[in-house]
Amino acid sequence: MKYPEDMASPKIELANRLFFRLYQCANMLHKTGSRAVEEEGLTTQQWAVLGALSRRQAQGGMSIGDLARYLMVTRQNLSGLISRMERDGHVCIAPDAQDRRSRIVTMTEGGRHVWLVLAQPKIRMYYQQLLADFSTDDVTHALHYLLKILENMRKLDAEWVGAEDDDTDAA
């Protein structure tokens, strides 16, 4: 089979390796990150939710929609996770005072204790182990490039969503 010329370019071959490594890293983050906090009854997804809710901007909680957008997950995936976290006493779900159709997720005192006292020391140790041979500049550069990739993915996603909306309008 003959491929178009640009499909075999060195940049495309490197891109394939890069995105495959990102995929592997995401899988290993889930596996090893969950192990790092499993004694606290957390998974990496719960860690991400507690981290999002611990930010200064989320002091009053976040709507499920805003939390899903921030974490870049579907509302459906987040809904079951939030229900389990509510059952475990980590978060509280309440109707939004401004929009009764919307629900606000806030971290409970128990969730704050798990996050700050129990999980944070283990998360810091996890980061130290993973980044032991990285300089501050290495981490800064890696973060910079990942943010560039993420921004380009967001733009592409918005284009695709816009194209889907155009297709729907035409139907």
CATH at 113: 1.10.10.10
- With CA atoms as reference, report the closest residue to 71 among 88, 48, 100, 92: 48
For residue 169, pLDDT over 70 is answered with: no
Q: Flag whether 102 is in a domain.
A: yes
Q: Flag whether 168 is in a domain.
A: no
- Domain extent for 126: 5-133
* The total number of structural domains that make up the chain: 1
Q: Flag whether 83 is in a domain.
A: yes
Each residue of 52-95: pLDDT tens digit?
999 999 999 999 999 999 999 999 999 999 999 999 999 999 99
Q: Flag whether 46 is in a domain.
A: yes
Q: Flag whether 113 is in a domain.
A: yes
Q: Flag whether 26 is in a domain.
A: yes
Q: Flag whether 158 is in a domain.
A: no
Asked if residues 124 and 51 have their Cβ atoms less than 8 Å apart, the reply is no
Q: Flag whether 147 is in a domain.
A: no
pLDDT level of residue 102 (50, 70, 90 thresholds): confident
Decide: residue 54, CB within 10 A, 0-12 exposed, 13-18 middle, 19+ buried: middle
Each residue of 113-161: pLDDT tens digit?
999 999 999 999 999 999 999 999 999 999 999 999 999 999 999 999 8
